[in-house]
Structure 1
Amino acid sequence: MKIVQIGTGGFGKNHARILSQLGVLSAICDMNTSRAEEFSKKYSVNHYSSLDSLMDSEKFDAAFVCTPTFTHFELARKLLEQKKNVFVEKPMTYLSHEGEDLLQIAKKNKVILTSGYIERFNPAVSLVKEYVRTRKYGELIMLEFHRENRMPNHIKDVGIIYDTSVHDIDTAMWLFDDVPEVVFARSGKIRHEHEDFATIMLGFKDNRVAIISSNWITPIRVRKFNAVCGDAIISSDFITQEVKIETSSGAEIPRKEMEEPLLLEIKNFISAIEGKENIRVRAEDAVNTTKIAEAALLSSHKGTPIYLDLK
């Protein structure tokens, strides 16, 4: 297995670290030549400053695209057309129709296309997913997500909905195992070019709901969610991976070992390429998340709910 890393700034450097750790990193590509050289030396692989030069010189099975969102479509398209398996960091594309185009190219060439919705691999989410699947605490009724932090320095081209809220949009669909029927949102900007705070309501069938609150205003880092079930409220922390279950008979904190979600995510991608397991984040899921982000921005602009017909 040979995998190339495209983009080593921001979160991309973490992908490179794990790919090297797993012994599959074969080349680095970054238009910032000094950074490309740095990671090339660090991991003893070749480096390139453009995708074209990399593709002309390297033989590889898959690529990780960890570049600014507006570049995702063209980079992924070139790779998919050469029948490479592609992992694109979230959001997969800025426009949902571009994501649909990538999905069709991947299907045509029979390769795997996925996107970096990492919380599906967070042990806290996995544990809640199992409780929901088995209905251990009754039916899942409502989800509440809270993400707060200062704006990351490497985010330049999107607002908080596309950068941050999309994680919880995807997690809500994963836990409900469904797509929402309606989106209603309020967002605004105080310190940044794009929206830096947003609250989104996703309405699912049978009156189930997810409330997603995100901001780049507060100085502390918060990454938490609550799952309200028929017989319990399950509180979880994405950072500490702690899960707390409160029922009428008291509270319980099940023991759970810490694991790095990114490592689990990358292992799933590699195993899917090898045919050993299914890809957990399908390209269709990533397209739906982008459609919901688009709807949230539109809802905030219009001040009205946006009704969806997702598959």
Structure 2
Amino acid sequence: MKFLFIGLGSISTKHIKDLASITNERGIECEITVLRRKKGELSQDLLSYNITQITELDSSVYDAAFITNPTNLHFQIMEQLKGKTKFYFIEKPIFECTDYNWKNLGINDKNAYVACPMRHSKVYKKLKEIVDTNKVFCARLICSSYLPEWRPNIDYRKNYSAIKALGGGVTLDLIHEIDYMAGLFGLPEKVMNIHGKYSDLEIDSDDLSVYIAQYKDKICEVHLDYFGRKYQRKCELYTSKCSYVADFKSETIEVSDGTVLNCQRDDKTNLYREMEYFVNFLTGNISENINTPEHAFEVLKITLGGK
């Protein structure tokens, strides 16, 4: 199978490694091409993957294209890829704004999956079980981390996360929380959002975004920031029976009765469960697309305060 990656940053590097591992295990021949602005030396950990570098698209047709370039360039590259790929793996968020008439791109629930890695985790799946079997009154979601420590050996001020024009900022960068909130509870009836630049980080993108999402029977609070010195990625649920604190870092869920539910990864396939899902999707082994472009666009509208 022939795969095209748009860009070669940290996310696409991870996806290349995961894809190569899965296709190798399944005996699928894997040809990887990377579209870059200019050809360059590959990092040491990618030298064994037989990667072809190109600087412009030609007449080649690919089995799948991975849209892993800056968010503000997603629409542009997908316009260029019409007729050149059978399937799409689109990194989150799908776009940086809601102004695009994206349905003319030819992407749909049958050929395009938008990344939602947290929904493949065992923590999320256990949360979903709890939500589906309990009445939840309230939820609190938090993702707090320190942007300069995200990418070792890279100046955080020069990365897309720090640059608003490239689609950076916590509101879009940390769309995971809004995505899995919608996965757990559906789309809210109303969303209030306050965001902006408040810390002393040397960036022009927003470093704090706070949401209150209103449902018919519950309220959800979401806190996202770039300046927390202690990494936190948690979800608190308050139900009629007890409360739960899910920790995506420790992969555990603490229950108010003292019980601790272990949701840790238990085998190597869990290290790349999202890529395994996508390979199953494009080879026809699963029919359900858990994050369609249409749903991802609705989540984007919520994220940007459009609901």
TM normalised by structure 1 equals 0.82
Which amino acid is the alignment partner of residue 116 of structure 2? Y
Conserved 8 A contact 1:159-1:196: yes
Partner of 1:29: 35
Equivalent residues in 2 for 1:285-304, closer than 5 Å: 285-295=295-305
Equivalent residues in 2 for 1:1-311, closer than 5 Å: 1-23=1-23, 24=30, 26-35=32-41, 41-50=47-56, 52-53=57-58, 56=59, 58-98=60-100, 101-102=102-103, 105-107=106-108, 111-133=110-132, 135=133, 138-151=134-147, 152=150, 153=156, 154=159, 155=161, 156=163, 157=166, 158-164=168-174, 166-176=175-185, 178-189=186-197, 190=199, 191=201, 192-206=203-217, 208-246=218-256, 250-258=257-265, 263-277=272-286, 278-295=288-305, 308=307
Conserved 8 A contact 1:148-1:216: yes
Q: 1:159 to 1:256 in 2, by over 3 A?
A: closer
1:271 to partner: Cα distance: 1.2
1:16 to partner: Cα distance: 1.1
Distance 2:184 2:259 in 1: 21
Distance 1:76 1:95 in 2: 15
Deviations 1:169-192 (A, max 9, x none): 11111011x211111122221332
Deviations 1:240-272 (A, max 9, x none): 2111222xxx22112334167671111112212
Give the root-mean-square deviation of aligned CA atoms: 2.3
Partner of 1:299: none
Deviations 1:213-242 (A, max 9, x none): 111122222111112222121211112211
Which amino acid is the alignment partner of residue 143 of structure 1? A
Which amino acid is the alignment partner of residue 49 of structure 1? T
SS at match of 2:206: coil
TM normalised by structure 2 equals 0.83
Kindly report structure 1 stretches of 4+ aligned residues shifted beyond 3 Å.
35-40, 80-83, 259-262
Distance 1:32 1:252 in 2: 54
Partner of 1:298: none
Distance 1:41 1:194 in 2: 34
Conserved 8 A contact 1:65-1:87: yes
Distance 1:230 1:27 in 2: 52
Q: 1:40 to 1:263 in 2, by over 3 A?
A: closer
Q: 1:96 to 1:253 in 2, by over 3 A?
A: same
Conserved 8 A contact 2:3-2:63: yes
Distance 2:54 2:17 in 1: 17
Conserved 8 A contact 1:183-1:292: yes
1:199 to partner: Cα distance: 1.0
Which amino acid is the alignment partner of residue 20 of structure 2? S
Which amino acid is the alignment partner of residue 121 of structure 2? N
Deviations 1:156-205 (A, max 9, x none): 322110101x11111111011x2111111222213320211121111122
Distance 1:35 1:224 in 2: 38
Deviations 1:109-162 (A, max 9, x none): x851121121111110111112222x1xx2122221111112243323221101
Which amino acid is the alignment partner of residue 209 of structure 1? I
Identity of aligned residues (%): 19
Q: How many residues align?
A: 281
